[in-house]
Amino acid sequence: MLDIAIKNGTVIDGTGRLRYDADVGISGGKIETIGRLENAEAARTIDATGLIVAPGFIDMHSHSDMSMYGDPGGESKAFQGITTEVTGNCSYSPFPIAPGGKADFRIGSLGWPEEWEWTDLDGWANAHESRGISLNIAPQLGQAALQIAVGAIEERPVTPDQMREMQRLAAESVEQGAFSLSTGLSLSPSGYMSTDEVAALCQAVAHYDGVFYVTHSRFGAGKHVSAIEEAVEIGRKAGVPVHYSHLAIIAKPDLGGWRKPQDRRGHGYEMLEVFENARKEGMDMTYDSYPYTAAMGDLDQSVPNWAQAGGIDAYMARLKDPETRARIREEVAAGLGGVPPMWDTGAIASVQTEANRGLIGRSIADIAAERGVEPAEAVLQIEEEERSAVASVGHGRVERDVRYFLSHPIGMFGSDGIAISPTGIHKDEQIHPRFYGTYPRILGRYVREQSLMSLETAVQKSTWMPADRLAIKDRGRVEEGLVADLVVFNPKTIIDNATYEQPHQLSQGIQHLLVNGVPVITDGSHTQARAGRVLRRGG
């Protein structure tokens, strides 16, 4: 007697091999048999006629570290076919935390619970699993969390004692199950550490099987290639594989990001050439990207890192000092890293205070005009009013680059989004549509409509490739004996519905979703089952 029999479907197994017709039998949370099950008995049967049966998608770049703690259904991701969220990206993870250190650790829209009850990965994982979550989480360790835990939050070299303690905490987190170490080198405080310091930190975990280095790289005009080269250098010095986050070319030519449109030519090829050369020389190096021409991040990313050194209170104090504020404003107006700001091409996505709810959906240029100030001053005013907890969406990429990075053989996908629900605490925010639409957009727009890649390739980039990167052996393929994380979708109708103006729209086409063998979506409806768990490295 099977628990579930998925009959009459077409299997795309995640390996890149061609699809084939087969039934899939599930028992005890695992795939027990693949073949013809006409005579098999099952407690439940799913008719997958006309549908694709594939491994559940693994979102290689998410920020769902805390979102399912208060919004456990994770509908925005479940209705994309995602069964596992890879968290701890861009240097941010909710562990390790020094006793009493929560107030100093800002992770923007990721959110914190009202009660704080852990200091390490084990405690964070236990808190999630005891409350129940619908999707799996594969945690990574954030460099910024390590820095904050040891007080290395100033723009200066870390001390030997701080480095030793960070190395100890990094090893502890990896032993508790963290899959990798992530950096956010264009962000505060991550960006304060040098290439050699990051490499030294990675060396502390390099000897653990499967551990790799993942980076949100340094940012700036002309750094598209050098940022990747730094990642390669860190990987070589530390002796670890490298994964590069949300690969993109930022600054659209007709928006002033490049002096001349021809300056942009060849950058995509040059960037991928660094990856290819590193791989030819024996380095295990991969990347992820997402299918949109806009990005989303905290507004403080338009403020120089030196101004944010020392934590939020020190940052706010600098904004109150007239002379320092003038210096900060001048740099904001000029644009960081040599990239001119684009104040009229994006919108405020979220704020914390009720008084500023009216700013959501509006551009910095519009807000500045209403307030009668220059855009750079409007940025500082909003930062001060919100104590830096404000996010924005900005347009600064072109479609041809998006297509190029999505389709390259060594690239996989990542939403850079958060598992939320249309009725949850983020429902009034104008967040990026990638939260809801990344994978159906790829399968509908880029596979079905544009034939950018085959459906088999897109599924492989969504399943086996991230599982292989994470060294997860029991997921990512439709194979007997593996965990039954499975998605059943309609290849003719799957598409994203979320837009920049109305982002809280669930995608369509996901008919069934099984997490650890338990139905989380059945016939297109969320069951509210709490079937997910926190996955551990080597587990």
Domain residue spans in the chain? Answer: 56-293+396-474, 307-390
Which pLDDT does position 396 carry in this prediction? 83
Which residues 6+ apart lie within 8 Å of 207 measured at CB? Answer: none
What's the rounded Cα separation, in Å, for the pair 262 and 184?
29
Which range (218-227, 274-283, 303-312, 359-368) has the least confidence? 218-227
> Tokens 């684009």 belong to which residue?
342
Cis peptide before 466 (omega within 30 of 0): no
Would you say the C-alpha torsion 377, 380, 381, 382 has a positive or negative sign?
Answer: positive
Which pLDDT does position 263 carry in this prediction? 47
Q: What angle do CA 419, 425, 430 make, to 5 degrees?
A: 75
Alpha helices in 99-257 (DSSP H): 121-131, 143-150, 160-175, 195-203, 224-238
The DSSP secondary-structure symbol of 337 reads G
Average pLDDT (454-467) is: 98
Average pLDDT (474-497) is: 98
**Three-class SS of residue 298?**
strand
CA 205, distance to chain mean position in Å, is: 22
Which pLDDT does position 249 carry in this prediction? 85
Which pLDDT does position 538 carry in this prediction? 87
Average pLDDT (7-27) is: 98
Which pLDDT does position 114 carry in this prediction? 52
| Residue 12 in this model has a pLDDT that exceeds 70 | yes
Torsion of CA 269, 270, 276, 277, to 10 degrees: 150
| Residue 108 in this model has a pLDDT that exceeds 60 | no
Tens digit of each residue's pLDDT (9 = 90 or more) over 335-345? 887 777 889 98
Q: Which helix (H) or strand (E) holds 74?
A: none
Average pLDDT (300-318) is: 94
Which pLDDT does position 425 carry in this prediction? 87
Which pLDDT does position 445 carry in this prediction? 98
CA 279, distance to chain mean position in Å, is: 24
pLDDT band at 107 (very low <50, low <70, confident <90, very high): low
Which residues 6+ apart lie within 8 Å of 449 measured at CB? Answer: none
What's the rounded Cα separation, in Å, for the pair 189 and 385?
21
Q: What angle do CA 272, 278, 284 make, to 5 degrees?
A: 105
Phi, psi of 230 (to 5 degrees): -65, -40
Tens digit of each residue's pLDDT (9 = 90 or more) over 49-101? 999 999 999 999 999 999 998 899 999 999 999 999 999 999 999 999 887 66
Closest by CA to 211, choosing from 243, 236, 183, is: 243
Closest by CA to 45, choosing from 15, 24, 74, is: 24
What's the rounded Cα separation, in Å, for the pair 283 and 241?
6
| Residue 310 in this model has a pLDDT that exceeds 60 | yes
* Number of helical H runs and strand E runs in the chain: 16, 21
| Residue 105 in this model has a pLDDT that exceeds 70 | no
Instruction: Tell me the pTM.
Output: 0.95
Tens digit of each residue's pLDDT (9 = 90 or more) over 236-273? 999 999 999 999 987 544 434 444 444 444 578 889 99
Tens digit of each residue's pLDDT (9 = 90 or more) over 56-68? 999 999 999 999 9
Average pLDDT (15-24) is: 98
Q: What would the two tokens of residue 439 be?
A: 């994978």
* Beta carbons of 80 and 440 less than 8 angstroms apart: yes
Average pLDDT (219-236) is: 89
The DSSP secondary-structure symbol of 360 reads B
| Residue 283 in this model has a pLDDT that exceeds 70 | yes
Closest by CA to 158, choosing from 126, 150, 229, 59, is: 150
More confident residue, 344 or 532: 532
Average pLDDT (328-350) is: 89
Which pLDDT does position 373 carry in this prediction? 98
Average pLDDT (273-289) is: 97
What's the rounded Cα separation, in Å, for the pair 37 and 8?
9
CATH 1.10.3720.10 fits 56-293+396-474, yes or no: no
Tens digit of each residue's pLDDT (9 = 90 or more) over 370-422? 999 999 999 999 999 999 989 999 988 889 899 999 999 999 999 999 999 99
Which pLDDT does position 115 carry in this prediction? 60
What residues pair up with 9 in beta bridges, in sequence order?
22
What's the rounded Cα separation, in Å, for the pair 371 and 151?
37
Which pLDDT does position 152 carry in this prediction? 95
Alpha helices in 386-485 (DSSP H): 399-407, 434-441, 455-462, 464-469
Quickly count: other Cβ atoms within 10 Å of residue 210's Cβ. 16
Which pLDDT does position 355 carry in this prediction? 97
Which pLDDT does position 137 carry in this prediction? 98
